[in-house]
């Protein structure tokens, strides 16, 4: 992690206003299947949304990331914080990216994913575990580029899929790779 990028991400996060905890939308809500348009990162509404994503992510047990459409808002913004997750190697703390895109991905690996918007299932998904992603910071609109691996790369892939209108259910490795989280006894 280069200190400049880490500092930029941390400064942008610190500059956010206090966020509001909002309800997380669950499938089959149509907002989860809609591609989210790019938004102005300097727009106060985007900044407020960024703060709400972080606030909601922080109070949700086990939540490592949230996409704006999971709060019912169709805007290309996501928050992430995988710093406490055991599968994490490289990480960038808590941050929000606006209008982000993966520039390069490699080292595909398969792992089981869950999602707050799909609470009853998990699924086996293959994703790149080394990625370079570029996006803008909320508030300033500064462009930042992050290179990361392992769980942070997977989580970013999952959030960017949300913003493209895809759930992990659309990315599973085969017909028998969606698993119920409850067992019947």
User: Interface with another protein by CB under 8 A: which residues?
Assistant: 26-28, 30, 32-33, 118, 120-121, 126, 165-167, 169-178, 180, 182, 184-185
Known catalytic residue at 159: yes
Q: Considering Cα of 34, then 38, then 43, then 48, what sign does the dihedral take?
A: positive
Smallest gap from Cβ 42 to another protein, in A, equals 32
Task: Note if the bond before 28 is cis, omega within 30 degrees.
Answer: yes
Q: Which CB atom, from 43 or from 124, has the smaller least distance to another protein?
A: 124
Q: Which CB atom, from 81 or from 159, has the smaller least distance to another protein?
A: 159
Q: Which CB atom, from 56 or from 117, has the smaller least distance to another protein?
A: 117
On the 0-12 / 13-18 / 19+ scale of CB atoms within 10 A, 18 is exposed
Smallest gap from Cβ 149 to another protein, in A, equals 20
Q: How far is the C-alpha of 48 from the C-alpha of 73, rounded, in Å?
A: 12
Smallest gap from Cβ 150 to another protein, in A, equals 19
The residues pairing with 118 across neighbouring beta strands, listed in sequence order, are 115
Catalytic residues: 159
């Amino acid at each position: 992690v280069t200190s400049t990028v880490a500092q930029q991400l941390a400064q942008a996060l610190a500059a956010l206003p206090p966020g509001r905890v909002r309800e997380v939308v669950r499938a089959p809500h149509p907002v989860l299947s809609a591609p989210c348009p790019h938004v102005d990162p300097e727009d106060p509404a985007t900044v407020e949304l960024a703060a709400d994503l972080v606030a909601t992510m922080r109070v949700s047990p086990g939540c490592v990331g949230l996409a704006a459409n999971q709060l019912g808002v169709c805007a290309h913004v996501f928050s992430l914080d995988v710093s406490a997750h055991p599968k994490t190697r490289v990480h960038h703390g808590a941050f929000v990216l606006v209008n982000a895109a993966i520039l390069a991905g490699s080292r595909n690996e398969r792992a089981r994913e869950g999602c707050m918007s799909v609470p009853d299932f998990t699924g086996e998904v293959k994703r790149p575990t080394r990625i370079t992603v570029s996006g803008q910071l909320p508030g300033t609109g500064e462009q930042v580029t992050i290179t990361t691996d392992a769980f942070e790369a997977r989580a970013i892939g999952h959030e960017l899929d949300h913003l493209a209108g895809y759930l992990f259910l659309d990315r599973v490795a085969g017909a028998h790779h969606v698993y119920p989280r409850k067992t019947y006894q």
